[in-house]
């Protein structure tokens, strides 16, 4: 087996996503042949080198595992928590394979989360270049104005950088309405900050879809194994790499009615049929 960067090796054996693996290396938790390594450019060979993380020798996983989990509110999307809070791994009762979450959901957010031991798959899904859309349903306090909706869709300044175009659609009216939101990026608490920027607080937030994968009938705290066809569909979504400028097209403002639709909506005038005609129009007079 050829030498590869340590962060890629850690991801490939299911220790963590490649980005998290880089943090593990920098923290000095990785040794290669007995020596602690903190340089991200370091390469090694899993077959010939003894690579350990927190003193545990790495080995190739027997098989890759892909899970869909409904993360409840007040659960941390990490493998461990220094504050002792419940983590998503605490919900995987009976699972004997070590997995890690793909991406994250905020502590008070709930919904669909993917977990796996396939680091390359996780890196593909979370990579900013992939533009895999994620769909949420969000309940906010108060109603957005049309101007605020347009700002949400086109982008809002966030930490010195404007957010990518987003999809937004009102799905339930009321004093505290529900919106469907679609993003192609996942900055920390992005949706909450975007609505707050527009003067509205988020009351509830649930992710219902990642690419083509839907949360389905899962209840909070439940998980299931993904079917091979679902994994293939997710990878296909990665390779499609949609244009960020078009991600909100289907969720933007209601489509304008075409001229044909407008004609259909206009009440018809009652016209007597001419003799011998089935068109509903008077029979034209013959010229003299």
Write down all domains in the chain, each with its CATH number in brackets: 4-57 (3.10.290.10), 66-250 (3.30.2350.10)
Is the Cβ–Cβ distance between 152 and 144 less than 8 Å?
Answer: yes
Residue 43 CA to residue 65 CA, distance in Å, equals 26
Q: What is the pLDDT of residue 239?
A: 67
pTM over 0.75: no
Least Cα distance to 113 among 73, 66, 81, 69 occurs for 69
Residue 77 CA to residue 108 CA, distance in Å, equals 10
Q: Residue 18, Cα to own-chain centre: how many angstroms?
A: 18
Q: What is the pLDDT of residue 98?
A: 86
Per-residue pLDDT of the chain (288 residues; tens, 9 = 90+): 578 889 888 887 878 778 888 999 999 999 999 999 999 889 998 888 999 999 988 887 768 899 999 999 999 998 888 899 999 999 999 998 889 999 889 999 999 999 998 888 888 888 777 789 999 999 999 999 999 999 999 999 988 899 999 999 999 999 999 999 999 988 889 999 999 999 999 999 999 999 999 999 999 999 999 999 999 999 988 866 554 444 444 444 444 433 333 433 334 444 333 333 344 444 554 544
Q: What is the pLDDT of residue 253?
A: 47
Q: What is the pLDDT of residue 130?
A: 77
| DSSP strand pairing (51-53 vs 100-102) | unpaired
Active site positions, annotated: 106
* Helix H or strand E encompassing 56: strand 56-57
Is the Cβ–Cβ distance between 28 and 38 less than 8 Å?
Answer: yes
- Give the CA diameter of the chain: 110
């Amino acid at each position: 087996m050829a030498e590869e960067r340590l962060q890629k090796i850690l991801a490939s054996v299911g220790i963590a996503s490649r980005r998290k693996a880089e943090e593990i290396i920098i923290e000095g938790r990785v040794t290669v042949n007995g020596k602690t390594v903190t340089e991200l450019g370091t390469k090694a060979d899993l077959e010939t080198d003894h690579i350990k993380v927190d003193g545990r020798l790495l080995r190739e996983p027997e098989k890759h595992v892909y899970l869909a989990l409904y993360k409840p509110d007040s659960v941390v999307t990490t493998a461990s928590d220094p504050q002792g809070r419940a983590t998503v791994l605490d919900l995987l009762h009976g699972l004997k394979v070590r997995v890690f979450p793909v991406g994250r959901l905020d502590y008070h957010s709930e919904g669909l989360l993917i977990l796996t031991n396939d680091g390359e798959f996780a890196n593909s899904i979370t990579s900013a270049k992939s533009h895999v859309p994620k769909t949420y349903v969000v309940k906010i306090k108060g109603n957005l104005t049309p101007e605020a909706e347009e700002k949400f869709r086109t982008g809002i300044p966030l930490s010195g950088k404007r957010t990518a175009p987003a999809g937004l659609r009102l799905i339930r009216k009321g004093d505290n309405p529900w919106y469907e939101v679609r993003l192609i990026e996942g900055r920390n608490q992005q949706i909450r900050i975007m609505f707050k920027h527009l003067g509205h607080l988020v009351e509830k937030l649930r992710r219902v879809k990642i690419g083509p994968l839907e949360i389905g009938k899962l209840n909070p705290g439940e998980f299931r194994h993904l079917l091979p066809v679902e994994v293939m569909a997710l990878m296909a979504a990665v390779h499609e790499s949609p244009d960020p400028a078009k991600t909100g097209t289907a969720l933007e403002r209601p489509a304008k009615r075409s001229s044909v639709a407008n004609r259909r909506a206009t009440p018809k005038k009652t016209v007597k049929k001419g003799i011998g005609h089935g068109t509903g129009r008077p029979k034209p007079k013959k010229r003299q």
